[in-house]
Structure 1
Amino acid sequence: MIQPLWTPSAERIANSGLTRFGDWLRADGQPVQADYEALHRWSTRHRGAFWRSIWRFADVIGEPGERDVTVPEDKLPDTRFFPDARLNFAENLIERGRDSDLAIIATGEGVPDREMTRAELRMWVDRVAGWLQDQGVVAGDRVVAVMPNLPETLVAALAAAKIGAVWSSCSPDFGMQGILDRFEQIRPTVLIAVDGYRYGGKVFDVREKLEAVRAALTTLKRVVMVAYLGETPPPGWLDWAELESEGCDYQPLPFDHPLYILFSSGTTGQPKCIVHGAGGTLLQHLKEHQLHSDIAPGDRVLYFTTCGWMMWNWLVSVLASEATAVLYEGSPAFPETGVLFDVAERHRVGLLGVSAGWINAVRQSGLRPVDSHDLSPLKTICSTGSPLSPEGFAYVYEAIKPDVQLASISGGTDIVSCFVLGNPTAPVFEGQIQCAGLGMDVDVADEQGRSLPPGEKGELVCRSPFPSMPVGFWNDPDGERYRAAYFEHFPGVWHHGDFAEKTEQGGFIIHGRSDATLNPGGVRIGTAELYRVLERMGQINEAAAIGAAVDGDVRIVLFVVTRDGTLDDELARAIRTRLRSEASPRHVPRDIFAVDAIPKTRTGKTAELALKTWIEGGVVRNRNALVGAELFNTQPPALSP
C-alpha cells in the first residue's frame, strides 16, 4: 500500500476553509456528506446550486440574479452561469478587510521592499480608473501593459476592471514582435509600460523597444511609462506618477463581461486571444483560494510569476480573500538559488507558488531550506507549469518543510484556473495531484471518449460546464475557432490536451501534453515518464524528448543539456540503459543530441512541439514566445538511418 508523504493534522482539517465550507453547506440544508468525494460528486451534479453556494459563502459583492445557469445546463460549450448577475471584479478585490491591512508587499532584485495598504490600493486604483475615463476609455476598450510584476501593474489591471475595460499584459522581456503578435490583434486604447527591468543581476532598458511598439499600435490614444529604473520616459509618454483624476465609481457589469485577454503560448501561428469573464474568474479563484489552497484573511501569498502568465492573474485574486499579495520581480535564482525562500522567511509567507522546474533546480543545487530558513508560517507550496517528478515531491518533504501541504496543480491559460489541484484535508502521495477541483467534472478518457479506470492513461477532459470557461476568442464572432480548440476532439466534452491518469487514491498524474506524447509502434508514452528517469542522472541538467515522424512510424529523439556540455558514446549508452531498465524498452531514444539549452515557453514549459517541427525540417514560427529559440536558427542534426 502506498504511504502518504504528508497527512493533515486534525487541527489543520478542522480549521481549513474546505471543512468550514462543508459545515456551512450542511447548516444551509444541503444534503452533503463530510468526505471530499461526496462533496465533489454533489458539486458536479448540482452545478447551479454549487456555484451559487460559492457566491454566498465567499460573500461576493454584487447581485447574482435569479438564474444560476442557462438552460440546457449540460450543453457544452453554450451553457452560461448567472446570466442575470451584476458585479464588479475590482470591487470584490479592493473592498475587503480593513484600510490598514496590507494589500501588497513588493520586492525584487536590487530594489527595497515596498508595502501598500488596502486604503492606498483603493486610492491608487480610483485615481488611475478616473484617469482612464478622462481619456475616453469605456467598458470593453482594451488596456494593455508591458510590465514586470509590480504594484503599478496590479493597480492598472484593477483600474481597468473598475470601469469595465479589458486588461491584457505581457512581460517586458518579450521581443517587439512577440508583443505586437499579441496586442495588434486586440487593438488597444491605452498602453502602460516600464522603462526597464532587472534579471539575473543585469539591467535591461526597454524604452527604445517600447517606443517602436507604440509606433506600431495605431489604435493607441495614450501611453504611460512607469519609471522602475528611474529613467526618463520618451517624448509623448506620460509619467505614471503624474496621473491624476477625481476618481470614479465601480461599474456594475454582467457576469460574463470580458475581464482579461490571455494568450496561448503556442509556437505555430499567432497566439490565440482567450477572453475570460469577470464573474467566472472571480468565483473560480475564490473557490481555489479559500477551499483548495486554504488561504485565509491575513495570509501572505507569494507566487513566482511574470505578468505574461495566468498565475499572475491567479495571484491578483488573493485580494478577494483578504490575503496579501507578495510580488517578486527578478530572477528566482539570483543572487542565489534560495532567494524565494529568503523572501518567504522575511515576509512570513503562508503559500509559496513556484514551477516544477524551479523545485528540481533547487533540489539539484543541494539547498536545504529546512536547515537554513524559518518557514514556520508556510502552510502550502504550490507547484505548476509542468508535471512535478516524484523526486521533486520527496525533496520538498525532506529538505524544505516536512509538515507543508504540497499542492501540485494543473489547468492553464485556457481556463485561467485549475482542473486538478490541492486538498488541505487529504493526504499527499508522491507524484500525484491530490484531487479534481470542486465543480469540475474532470475525467480521463480513451480515444472514443469513454471513461478510463485508475491506472490507465488517456486524455484529460471535463464533461460538464464550469463558469471559468472562456467567454470566447477575440476576433472569433461565430465561435468557430473556440469550439475547434476544445470541443472538436470529443463533441460536447472539454478536451484539455493533457495526457493523464487517475490514481487509486483519488488523485491524478499528468504525463505531459497529449499533443507531445510519443507514439513509437503505436503505443502512447508521456514525455514526463522519460524526464523522471533522466532527472536522476547527475550528468544531465535538462532534457526534452519528441516523437519524430520517420518512414511511417514515430521515433523518439532526445535532446539533452549535459553538465559539462558534451555527449560521448558512454553517456549515450548510460542514458539508453537507464531508460530501458527504469521505464521500458519503448522509452529508449533512437537519436540523442546535445544542445546548449532546451527551448521553453516563457512560462517554463518545454517547447516539445517546436523541437518536433524543427527536427522534421519545418519552420518554427512565433519564436518570440520562446526562451532559447536561438537553436532554431541552426540546421537540425541528421537523424540516424
Structure 2
Amino acid sequence: MNNAPFRPQIALYRDWLKSERGLEFADYEALRSWSVTDVDAFWQSIWDYSGMQSSTPYEGVLCTDKMPGGEWFKGAHVNLADHVFKHVDAAHAAGQPAIICENELGEVIELSWPELRRKAVSLALKLRDLGIEPGDRVAAYLPNGPETMIAFLACASVGAVWSLCAPDMGVRAVIDRFAQIEPKVLIAADGVHYAGKPMDRGQTVIDLLAELPSVQATLLVQTPYATVSVPSCESFEGAVARDDDGVAGFEPVKLPFDHPIWILYSSGTTGKPKPIVQGLGGTLITSFVNLMHMDLGPSYADNSLNERFHWFTSTGWVMWNVQFSGLIAGSTICLFNGAPNGPKGATDWTTLWRFAARHKVTFFGSGAAFYVSCEKDGIDLSTCGDLSSVRALGSTGSPLPESTQIWGTDQFAAIGTTDIWWCNISGGTDLGGCFCTGNRELPVVPGQMQCRQLGMAVEAWNDDGQPVGDQVGELVCVRPSPGMPLRFWGDDDGERYRTSYFEKYPGIWCHGDWLKIQPDGSCIIYGRSDSTINRHGVRMGTSEIYSAVEALPDVVDSLVLDLEYLGQESRLLLFVVLRDGADISDDLKSAINANIRSNLSPRFVPDEIIAAPEVPRTLSGKKQEVPLKKIFLGQDASKVLTRDAMANPHVLDWYVDTARRMSE
C-alpha cells in the first residue's frame, strides 16, 4: 500500500470525469443534475469507468426513452460473473479473502477468491450437465452462507435466472413465490441453525418439491440439523468439487443486456407476491453506482483500506443482493449466518458488533430496527472488541430515528472514531437500488439521507403531479433508470407492472413513499404514502410519529393505525412494545402524548395507547401498517395478510383478537 491520501470512490469518479471527459462540476448537486439530464453521457461514463465490455457492438445508451419499457444498450452482451472473476488474481495476491462467514455457533468459513471462482464454475458446469440453458430458472432455498453466493454466481455464469427464498420462510410463502416462475432446478439446505436452535428443513424441501412439478433436479446442501432424508437429490458439495481443465478454461456466457438476472419478490403482504424480473445489464451497471455511493472499492487497491463489507440480512431481503454486490466491487464480504440478537435466543445486541470486531469489518450495515434495538438495550460498543476498522455504518429498511443515529455516532466517538460516516439509504426490492443515498463528501445530518443517487431523477410531487421543493410529496422518478424492472414474471400484457408503479402518474414511477427534498439536496423519508395519518385534513408520515414515541427509553417499538373510514372521524390507535420491566402506566402515556404534542402536533395525539407484545413485520423488517389497518377496519385477516410472509406470524392472533374485542 502507498501513503497517498484516501479518496472517496465518488471523488475518484469525479477525477476520472475531469481527466477523461473534460467535465467539472461545482458541487455534488451539479453532478447529480447532469446525471439525470444528459442521461446517455452519464450512463456511458459509468459503463466506461467501471470497465464494462460487450462482446458485440451496441446501438446506443438509452435506445427507447419511456417508462415503463425503457431500452438500454441495445445489442450489448455482457456477464455479471466476469466482474467478480476479474478480481481473483489481484485480491488473492494481496492476501484478501473473497468471503468470510461466521455462524452463530462461532464456526468460521473463509473462502479465497480462487476457491470462489473454482466452486462457482464447477457448479455452473454441473448446471449445464443438468440441462440448464440461458433463461431457465433456478430456485434456491438457502441461508446466508457462502453456498448461496457460490450458487448465484454459478447461475449468472450460465445465464440461469436466479430466485432465492430464506429457510425461515414458511412452506406456503415459498411455494407462492417459486410456483409462479416454474424453476427447473432447486438448490436447498436440509437444515439451519438459528437463534440457538437446530431447525430441520428436510421435510420442508420434500413439501416444496411436491408442489413444484417443474423441478427436474435438486442439489442439496446437507447439514447436521436434518432428521428427515430428502430422496432423489444430488449433493451440492459434489457439484462444487470439480477442479480440472474444464474449470480452468471456463468463460461465462455473454448475454443480452436485458437478459433476466434474478427474480425478486414484493413482501407478499396480501395476495401472491409480485415476481419482479430484473435485467442483467441494468443490475450490473446500477450496482456500480450503488457501490460508489456506499464508498466501496476493491479490498486490494491502494485506496481501499482493506475493504470488508458486511450488511446483516437474511436471504429473503434485497439487501442480500446488495451484500453480493460487494464482490463486484472486489471487496471482501463478511456474512453472519444467524440471529442478530444472540445465538441462544437471548437478547444480546452486541452479537453483530463482536462479529464485526473479530473480522475487521470496514462497512457495517443493517436495518434501522437493529440500531434502534441496540440503543434501547443500552449496549456499550467499548465492550465489543476492537471496532477501529469500522469507518461506515449503513442503514435502511425503515427511516432511522435521529436519536438513534446520534447514539451510534456518540458510541463510536467514545471508542476513538470521531468521523464515523452514516450511509442511510432508501430504495427498494423493486429496483434493487437506491433513490436516496449517501455521499461521504457531504455533511451528515442525523435522521436524513445525504442526497439523491446519481442517475435517479427523483422528485417529490403533490397530488396534482407538480414537483414541490422543501415540502413532503410523493417520491417519484421522472426518467428511466437501467435498474428498473424488466417486467413481472407471468404479467404478459404488463398490466400488473403498470398498475404497481405508473397508475397514479402515467409514465412516471411512483414509489409509494413520502419524501421531502431539502434546499441542500438532502432527503427525508416520512414512511409509506399508503399508510399516512390524516387528522382533520393534516397529513403526517408514520415515521415522524415513531420517532417521537420511540425516543422514550421505555418504548422499544411502536405501530400507529389511523382508522378513518368512509367519512367517519379519525380514530388513532398507538400500539407500543415496552422494554422488559416497563408497564403502560398513566405516566408513560402522558410522556408519549407530550412527546407527540411537542414534536409534531396535538392533532396526532392518539385516541388510545395499547401495550402490544410485538409489532408485526414483513420478512424484510417493515412494519405491516396497511394490512393491520384493514384488519382493524373489519376485513378478514386471511384475505389481507399472508402469515408465511411475516417475520413474526405468532403475534398476528393477538392483533386479530384485539381488533375483534374493540369492534364489539
Partner of 2:542: 527
State percent identity of aligned pairs: 37
Moved more, 502-511 or 30-39: 30-39
- Cα-to-partner distance string for 1:237-284 (whole Å, 9 max, x where unaligned): 222112266555311001110001000003111100000011111111
2:645 to 619, 622, 625: 625
Q: CA deviation at 1:45?
A: 0.9
Structure 1 unmatched ranges of 5 or more:
1-10
Q: Answer yes or no: is 1:188 the counterpart of 2:183.
A: yes
Partner of 1:87: 78
1:177 to 161, 172, 180: 172
> In structure 1, how many angstroms separate the alpha carbons of the residues matched to 2:116 and 2:663?
60
Give the AA of the match of 2:273: P
Aligned residue-pair number: 628
1:26 to 18, 23, 40: 18
- Cα-to-partner distance string for 1:443-478 (whole Å, 9 max, x where unaligned): 111111211111x11111111111100011000112
Q: Answer yes or no: is 1:121 the counterpart of 2:116.
A: yes
> In structure 2, how many angstroms separate the alpha carbons of the residues matched to 1:254 and 1:313?
21
> In structure 1, how many angstroms separate the alpha carbons of the residues matched to 2:28 and 2:58?
28
1:304-323 matches, within 5 Å, as 304-323=312-331
Q: CA deviation at 1:578?
A: 2.6
- Cα-to-partner distance string for 1:582-632 (whole Å, 9 max, x where unaligned): 221121111222221111011111111121111111123322111233343
Change (3 A) 1:104 1:489: same
1:2-151 matches, within 5 Å, as 15-63=7-55, 65-73=57-65, 75-98=66-89, 100=92, 101-151=96-146
Partner of 1:270: 272
Partner of 2:310: 302
Partner of 2:214: 219
Structure 2 unmatched ranges of 5 or more:
301-306
> In structure 1, how many angstroms separate the alpha carbons of the residues matched to 2:62 and 2:551?
51
Partner of 2:584: 567
- Cα-to-partner distance string for 1:477-528 (whole Å, 9 max, x where unaligned): 1211111111111112110111111123320001111111111222211011
2:423 to 374, 391, 407: 407
Change (3 A) 1:380 1:65: farther
> In structure 1, how many angstroms separate the alpha carbons of the residues matched to 2:634 and 2:71?
43
Say if 2:158 and 2:253, in contact at 8 Å, map to a contact too. Answer: yes
Say if 2:198 and 2:225, in contact at 8 Å, map to a contact too. Answer: no
Say if 1:226 and 1:241, in contact at 8 Å, map to a contact too. Answer: yes
Partner of 2:457: 441
Give the AA of the match of 1:588: V
Q: Aligned to 1:601, what secondary structure does the other structure show?
A: coil
2:410 to 398, 409, 421: 398
2:481 to 450, 458, 466: 466
Give the AA of the match of 2:29: E
Change (3 A) 1:319 1:382: same
Partner of 1:5: none
> In structure 2, how many angstroms separate the alpha carbons of the residues matched to 1:417 and 1:543?
27
1:583 to 591, 600, 605: 600
Say if 1:435 and 1:508, in contact at 8 Å, map to a contact too. Answer: yes
- With structure 1 as the length reference, what TM-score do the two structures score? 0.94
Q: CA deviation at 1:338?
A: 1.2
Partner of 2:304: none
Q: CA deviation at 1:20?
A: 1.1
2:261 to 246, 259, 268: 259
> In structure 2, how many angstroms separate the alpha carbons of the residues matched to 1:605 and 1:623?
14
Give the AA of the match of 2:630: T
CA RMSD of aligned residues (A): 2.0
> In structure 1, how many angstroms separate the alpha carbons of the residues matched to 2:268 and 2:231?
35
Q: CA deviation at 1:579?
A: 1.5
Change (3 A) 1:106 1:371: closer
Q: CA deviation at 1:374?
A: 2.1
Give the AA of the match of 2:489: W
Q: Aligned to 2:98, what secondary structure does the other structure show?
A: strand
1:171-570 matches, within 5 Å, as 171-229=166-224, 231=226, 233-243=229-239, 246-247=246-247, 248-298=250-300, 299-335=307-343, 336-370=348-382, 372-400=384-412, 401-454=417-470, 456-550=471-565, 552-553=567-568, 554-563=570-579, 564=581, 566-570=583-587
Give the AA of the match of 1:378: V
Say if 1:170 and 1:308, in contact at 8 Å, map to a contact too. Answer: yes
Q: CA deviation at 1:385?
A: 0.6
Partner of 1:3: none
Say if 1:434 and 1:508, in contact at 8 Å, map to a contact too. Answer: yes
> In structure 2, how many angstroms separate the alpha carbons of the residues matched to 1:16 and 1:599?
39
Q: Aligned to 2:571, what secondary structure does the other structure show?
A: strand
> In structure 1, how many angstroms separate the alpha carbons of the residues matched to 2:59 and 2:410?
49
Say if 1:17 and 1:296, in contact at 8 Å, map to a contact too. Answer: no
